[in-house]
Structure 1
């Protein structure tokens, strides 16, 4: 037997194994096809179809192609989900198959994806940071201990609005809410104020935060084309308040919490709370009957001569309904992003490729008429006597995410948002600037990691 024949005989088992493997994979792909979607242009895929507001574009496309849809963004397979049932299946039933949040070139710039609890894969390091968040940052005792600090900041906000009231000057609701959110968090975390309400004192810090949110949420060629992604990665180096607690943990055990991880833990999303306050006030200005009903509740329960406190939130069901309705119609972020890991997967008889990006379109779910009657009408009453909440268990309303990767800062954000809105309504009446009618209040969005108002809301406070 010659050398060639011997070689073929030796390779036969290997060839047969490869054939079986390929055949098995082929059968799997034949038994489950990719979800439907728009036809992709060679090389660039469907990128040009996204426009300036991808969440809106994808919501429209889902009406044609269904609640689970496949689009090609450059070289990346992307599965867009706009159904609470499928979102639940991904975030709960198949949670382990989607252990990673999608990272972009912007989030990788300073190795944020390697040190931030928001982007780390599920594992020991991620678990340690989540534990610190739960037990040290956002636990009920910790939040209760710092309640006085937050109350102090609310008083500063009300004093500023009172000055505007006396002068008959309009308040930029978003900017005032941003200053308050920054100081509420800085007081809780560091026991110091970071910003002031006087003109210019907060503008630079506010702009930095908003630009970060836009940069982290903005598309980048390296995110869609694998080779470009490798080429564009940046390799830059890496008591009574929370900072002291984290320093103690870090000093005691660097393996549990490094200084770099600590910095990322403290990068809390002030823009989310500020943006939510602005959207709530926007809808209240657009819907005077809702504003009146909320005023009546808050002023009746709290009392004319008292100030709103965090303990009052549970006694204000209409306030809670207003906040939920705002989250439904104006979610803090348009998408929940996950990345498929490991083997291929089948969901709803559709093939989900390995390493596919999953976009759960929260914005689309919140405006789906099959889930919400009159979805484009702001109706807090839909949440009265309803058990639907925002804790990540009801997948038709998941503004903070769901499953194991739900935002750990929810307890603090919820307190801040509810008490800020209630205080604004309790202490002042609000009017639009002369010449503006409620129906003219702008609702356009500015796309990013969080959804901001494109046109700031300005309203004139008056004494009730």
Structure 2
């Protein structure tokens, strides 16, 4: 029997409901709301009932106890366009297609064997990054935010599409530019997500729908060119499955006769774009925040650097096999993702049926946002939660898939991020290389307390101002 008890809700207004509470930093405003009203809050965002979850215990109820109820996604306007009818893994509705798509991603695109097969790609792009940093003058400041985005972009381009994409002079339509626009649109505000019955004319007036349609046209065109290149490419260039990029894999899987749901060309585009878009911003954001916290905490920087240099030794070459021994460095990454989760509200979920959540009645078609930012800073779950202290992870072997739901950098449940192993391989190797080969300082006149920690909320939450650092190649650990 349903309880007829709604979660607590602040006072709203006609028509807009609680949209006035959605600031440019919604995870911050929702966290403050939870402090006042509790860990489960009901908001009416326009016409859409939305539950905000802000505690580890209640996150566990959504992601484990009632995972089968909250396993679907709302059909957001941007995803309907840019994911080709929400046919990627991230935004597709729960059902046979999603189960098949996720299985393909887990077993074919993101398996341990496949992640290892891209070691050479990661190594080559990391070396490109190190060469760029080494070529700068010893006192020259470097925009590390740009360095990290370029690194993640180039790795994902090669893994997904088979090559780096460099814009040529006079070229109007270019994959990187098209994908950057798609990322901005995914992270932008769309009135149609809150007023479904009004979406067409409202988004036309704001120009959002026009941007979506233009970007979809460009995505379709550049993707079709890439797919055609792969189809025409001689099969003898792929000596084994280890030589395949994501497009190759999906073209091969598309021909299988055992598929429960056929994979169309648009589905293929959605799946490969999903891997790219989901990986680029989040990977670069984690690296950006990690280096930000390290330069703000010299003690932590020194300890992490000493560990990497001790494990790698004087060989001069950081290898992925070293990563399993870098326990403190891994703790640094975890602590960074606790304080600066790349996707602080995770990806929205939607209830598929009526449910009672800790005594509260949650109707079907209710949107659910899990505030991992608030959970990571909850004093009920963490001692001194605002203090940057990697030792809390070094002393407690908490995995990225935390069973207590206190730590959710990659989400959880059946809709958790399937690509976390791939992302971690890039983040950890890049960080180890930077700590091994270089010493790091802030620009002259900038102190640790001067580093700007303001955020930009989007597809991934990044620093508002670029991270400018001065790398100095260490003579004992030169690249």
Per the normalisation by structure 1, the TM-score is 0.87
Aligned residue for 2:248? 244
Contact 1:189–1:241, Cα closer than 8 Å, also in 2: no
Say if 1:215 and 1:373 are closer, same or farther in 2 by CA, change over 3 A.
same
- 2-structure distance, mates of 1:192, 1:321: 33
Conservation of the 8 A alpha-carbon contact between 1:337 and 1:357? no
Give, in whole Å, the separation in 2 of the partners of 1:102 and 1:394. 26
- Name the residue aligned to 2:268: 262
Matched residue of 1:109: which SS?
helix
Q: Which of structures 1 and 2 has the bigger CA Rg?
A: 1
Aligned position for 1:322: 332
Counterpart CA distance in 1 for 2:64 and 2:200 is 32
- Partners of 1:394 and 1:195 in 2: how far apart? 44
Q: Distance in 2 between matches of 1:256 and 1:213?
A: 27
Match for residue 286 of structure 1 among 291, 296, 305: 296
- Going from structure 1 to structure 2, the CA distance change for 1:424 and 1:319 (only over 3 Å counts) comes to same
Structure 1 unaligned regions, length at least 5: 1-26
Q: Secondary structure at the match of 1:263?
A: helix
Distance 1:342 1:159, change over 3 A: closer
Structure 2 unmatched ranges of 5 or more: 204-208, 221-237, 475-479
Q: Pairwise CA RMSD of aligned residues?
A: 2.3
Taking the aligned partners of 1:171 and 1:205, their CA distance within structure 2 comes to: 26
| Deviations, residues 361-401 of structure 1 (Å, cap 9, x unaligned) | 01111111121112111100000131311125341111111
Kept in 1: contact 2:281–2:459 (CA 8 A)? no
2:454 is the alignment partner of 1:450: no
Distance in 2 between residues matched to 1:169 and 1:32, nearest whole Å? 63
Do the aligned partners of residues 455 and 149 (structure 1) sit closer, same or farther apart at CA in structure 2, a change above 3 Å counting?
A: same
Distance 1:179 1:342 in 2: 39
Task: Report the CA distance shift for 1:64/1:113 in structure 2 as closer, same or farther (over 3 A).
Answer: farther
1:34 has 2:6 as partner: yes
CA contact (8 A) 2:73 2:350 kept: no
Match of 1:179?
150
Correspondent of 1:224 among 194, 215, 221: 194
CA contact (8 A) 1:102 1:337 kept: no
Shift of 1:111: 5.1
Q: 1:424-443 to 2 correspondence within 5 Å?
A: 424-443=434-453
Match of 1:75 among 47, 53, 57: 47
1:286-435 to 2 correspondence within 5 Å? 286-391=296-401, 393-435=403-445
Q: Give 1:91 deviation, angstroms.
A: 1.3
Q: Secondary structure at the match of 2:49?
A: strand
Aligned-partner SS, 1:355: coil
For the 8 Å contact 2:82–2:182, the answer to whether it is kept is: no
- In the aligned structure 2, how far is the partner of 1:422 from the partner of 1:277? 11
SS at match of 2:346: strand
Q: Report deviation, 1:210.
A: 4.9
Task: Give the Cα separation in 2 of the matches to 1:453 and 1:89.
Answer: 32
Task: Please report how far the alpha carbon of residue 315 of structure 1 lies from its aligned counterpart in structure 2 after TM superposition.
Answer: 0.3
Higher mean alpha-carbon deviation, 262-271 vs 426-435, is at: 262-271
For the residue of structure 2 that corresponds to 1:96, the secondary structure is coil
Question: What's the CA shift for 1:188?
Answer: 2.5
Q: 1:65 to 1:101 in 2, by over 3 A?
A: same
Once the two structures are superposed, residues 377-433 of structure 1 have per-residue CA deviations (whole angstroms, 9 ceiling, x without a partner) of: 110000013131112534111111101111111111010000001111110001111
Equivalent pairs counted in the alignment come to: 430
Equivalent position of 2:123 in the other structure:
151
Residues 400, 36 of structure 1: alpha-carbon distance in 2 compared, 3 angstrom cutoff: same
What residue is the counterpart of 2:232 in the other structure? none
Q: Normalization by structure 2: what TM-score?
A: 0.84
What is the rounded CA distance, in whole Å, between the counterparts of 2:353 and 2:404 in structure 1?
28
CA contact under 8 A between 1:182 and 1:194: conserved in structure 2? no
Highest RCO, 1 vs 2 (Cα 8 Å, sep ≥ 6): 2
